[in-house]
Structure 1
Amino acid sequence: MTIQRIHTRHLDLIPATVEILKSDLHDHTALARLLDATVPAAWPPGEMNDEVLTEFIRMASEQSDPVFACWYWVRDAPVPEYRILVGCGGIGSTVDSPGTVLIGYSVLDEFQGNGYATEAVGAMIPVIFQDRRISRIMATTYPELKASIRVLEKNSFACSGPTAPGEGLEEGTLGYVRERSRRADR
């Protein structure tokens, strides 16, 4: 998948390169330079831990997942010193469903409630569906994470119910699905 930079009303979604991912793991000063943005002291969000970053670096380096894509979400501003890293999101292949990718996203606590995740996920969807191999985007979230559910619902994901044990997904989560539409996602 060719990963492109995405600009939205409030965000600059910067594709994660191996260099950016390694900087995120080891050197936030370099990460700030590469993103041309301030990296908050609280970075990374809880879901983007060292284990996840290490796996992302491996996948990006080895190109072992043909649809892996990740973006760093920078709140854009006309004044460079106000550009700040607020979140991240991306996709990866699912094990047993050709044509389906799993999407994940995370926003730092201090930037939640501002619509950034809804805006970023909404901008990522048409880019993801540009890859003709992808016909379905799946997400999982816990039922108590109402804000995450709102992000998905606002982006036309439909709840597919509890995830089944053994699907490789986190136990106790709900599945959400967005199918490629014939017109809107071309």
Structure 2
Amino acid sequence: MDETSQKIIDATMAMVRDKGYVATTTKDIARLAGVNECTLFRKFQNKKDIVLHGMEQEKWRGNVTPDIFQKVEWDLEADLPMFMREYMRRITPDFVNLSIGLRAPQLYEETVSMIMKVPQAFLRSLTDYLNQMEEKGKLPHRDWEPLAMTFFSATFGYTFLKASFGERLTGVGQEEYIRESAKVFLHGILQD
């Protein structure tokens, strides 16, 4: 990728994050990238093409893959918070806002599979972990997939609300939220 193309991609993705896809114009992209609009169209077919190239770059997608959840101790009290922390460390407010901007109807079919990789990695990793904990005799038999979805929803919800409202919604800090959520989830899954 040449430097000019990268500037165009970075400007586009930053604007989609800040304004949304529909409100982002090629004129605004060119201005932010420091190029003229003709250069933009020499490098890319259109605004959608720029975004799709941006989505292929690791810096513009959430770096959540199953391998980030491998630091398990096989102890629920330690491991559940680790799942939340690793997700929250990578899914920053910037990424949350970008993923919202990428949900425009003009892009949705092309971007949804890339956006879904983040929750899929979390859910698959946590479900596999819980199944292995059951196999090790550390958990009772359960259908772990819906419970992993519950835990992910709590993790995603906090991340999304913090990205959207900052401290205006609640003063509950990330570590307190992680500690209390993991404790409640742990208590719930150990009950018969």
Give TM-score scaled by structure 2 length.
Answer: 0.29
Question: Higher strand proportion, which one?
Answer: 1
Question: Higher helix proportion, which one?
Answer: 2
Structure with higher RCO (Cα < 8 A, 6+ apart): 2
Give TM-score scaled by structure 1 length.
Answer: 0.29
Structure with max Cα Rg: 2
